[in-house]
Structure 1
Amino acid sequence: MIGTIVNCTTIIVGSVIGSTLKKGIKDSYQDILMQAMGLAAIALGLNSIVEYLPSSKFPVLFIVSLAIGGLIGEKLNLEEGFKKIVSKFSTGNLSEGLSTAILLFCAGTLSILGPIESALRGNNTYLFTNAILDGVTSIVLASTFGIGIAYSALVLLCWQGFFYFLAGSITSFITPDLLNEMSIIGGVLILSSGLSILGIKKMKTMNLIPALLIPVIFLTVSSKLGFL
């Protein structure tokens, strides 16, 4: 778990540094940083979609996943539940920044393959690389949204911990096709967060989170039935 611990630590340290910088930044500068974060999220989301969609063997799956996942998320009202939890710890627009941080830190391939590689082979290269990227990202996010971005480290710990402790039993399920489909959907969700941050359209991004589970169910069932 050393790689995951390092990864989470860099996020916390980055959040502290970023929130410290925030205190000395004028409102106009904070506004431009927020715009920068929105544009960056859109760029990262589009990059993930463009990179992985051409390789998809099921080009319609991400559309179906978003539709079904969105309905499930809306039924569970995940967006409002998330905002209520965040509001207990902070005020303002932290929920937007925190949801973006969670997606950026957890939806990437490195955060899935990293803990599995660490558990099975003791190789923390993916996680150390991810730690550097997340640390820098957390500095920028915290300089815009505040110290609350550090809470995303706890989510990341649970996320990577899940893959780490169940590495042996889930390795066969984490196929290139599954990672590909999850990366496409993750890209769409990050893009959605970017649109919300910029105020172009307030998206219920958290309600779309269950979409990440649909490819897992589809590919697992298809494999069991011999369709793949």
Structure 2
Amino acid sequence: MPTGIIINVAAIFIGGLIGGLAGHLLSERFKEEINLIFGISSMVMGIIAIAPTKNMAAVIFAIIIGTALGLILHFGAWINRGASLMQRGIAKIAPVKSEIPEDEFMSTLITAIVLFTASGTGIYGSLVNGMTGDATILISKSILDFFTAIIFAANLGYVVSFIVVPQFIIFYILFLLAGFIYPLTTPAMIVDFKAVGGALMLATGFRMTKIKIFPTADMIPSMLLIMPFSWAWINWILPILAN
């Protein structure tokens, strides 16, 4: 059962409703400073995920090569275009009147869509939930997403709650795919997979705190590479190094 996905979807939906209803009561200073706390929390989750890494070299290779591929293929740009298309459909269902300029409104909404539907943490958490039944990552993410949805909805309105529709579809597909992937994995490969997800969580935390704007969307292909890289490292490289 996709427990973590359901909890994550519910957290964002409820947070969006609360933010749309009472967001005007929050000061700009509060919104800005609480976002820093979200960023630090994401970093903590990332560090915990990276710590048990079994094959650090495979993890590093996957991050570097995966991000390079993402940049070459303009993976982040494609995600932003998809988010823009989602926004148009969502806006028809939940039109909103906002005091912020239209360009800024669109940019902020696309950021929210990407954050909730295409984040490394969400993809990583959905796959782990499907592979092992462990919903801890998504539940932890849900706590952050609940308050983040409130902050976004304070500026954008109830439209934030409708982001859960594409989010659930994407996460559930990943959850189902994980069932086919898991039998082909080993415990070490799963730990390495979590470590790459942790790196994406760290990068997300840096973005949220505006310390450094990492290309987190372009880093997502790293999560596709880490499993075969980890397998190759264990079965091909380590035996050579042992001789």
Q: Same fold (TM over 0.5)?
A: yes
Return the offset for 1:47. Answer: 2.3
Return the offset for 1:19. Answer: 4.6
Query: Per the alignment, do residues 16 and 130 of structure 1 end up closer, same or farther by CA in structure 2, a change over 3 Å counting?
Result: farther
| Aligned residues of 2:2 and 2:172 also touching (Cα < 8 A) | no
1:37-186 equivalence runs, <5 A: 37-50=38-51, 52-53=52-53, 56=54, 58-88=55-85, 89=87, 91-101=106-116, 102-108=119-125, 111-116=126-131, 126-127=134-135, 132-146=139-153, 148=160, 151=163, 154-164=166-176, 167=179, 169-186=180-197
Higher alpha-carbon deviation: 192-201 or 136-145: 136-145
Structure 2 letter corresponding to 1:47 = I
| Aligned residues of 2:49 and 2:194 also touching (Cα < 8 A) | yes
Q: Distance in 2 between matches of 1:72 and 1:60?
A: 18
1:131-166 CA-to-partner distances (Å, cap 9, x unmatched) read 654443321111223353763663354334344366
Q: Secondary structure at the match of 1:91?
A: helix
Higher alpha-carbon deviation: 70-79 or 98-107: 98-107
Return the offset for 1:67. Answer: 1.1
Structure 1 letter corresponding to 2:48 = N
- What RMSD, in angstroms, separates the aligned Cα atoms of the two structures? 3.2
1:82-136 CA-to-partner distances (Å, cap 9, x unmatched) read 223334525243455554443333323xx33433566xxxxxxx44x66654443
Structure 2 letter corresponding to 1:41 = S
Q: Secondary structure at the match of 2:30?
A: helix
TM-score if structure 1 supplies the norm length? Answer: 0.75
Structure 1, gaps ≥5 residues long:
119-125
In our comparison, the structure showing a higher alpha carbon Rg is 2
Structure 1 letter corresponding to 2:6 = V
Q: Secondary structure at the match of 1:179?
A: helix
Q: Distance in 2 between matches of 1:17 and 1:30?
A: 14
Return the offset for 1:12. Answer: 2.5
Structure 2, gaps ≥5 residues long:
88-104, 154-158
Q: Distance in 1 between matches of 2:195 and 2:49?
A: 6
Q: Distance in 2 between matches of 1:104 and 1:9?
A: 17
Q: Distance in 2 between matches of 1:174 and 1:137?
A: 30
Q: Distance in 1 between matches of 2:206 and 2:82?
A: 22
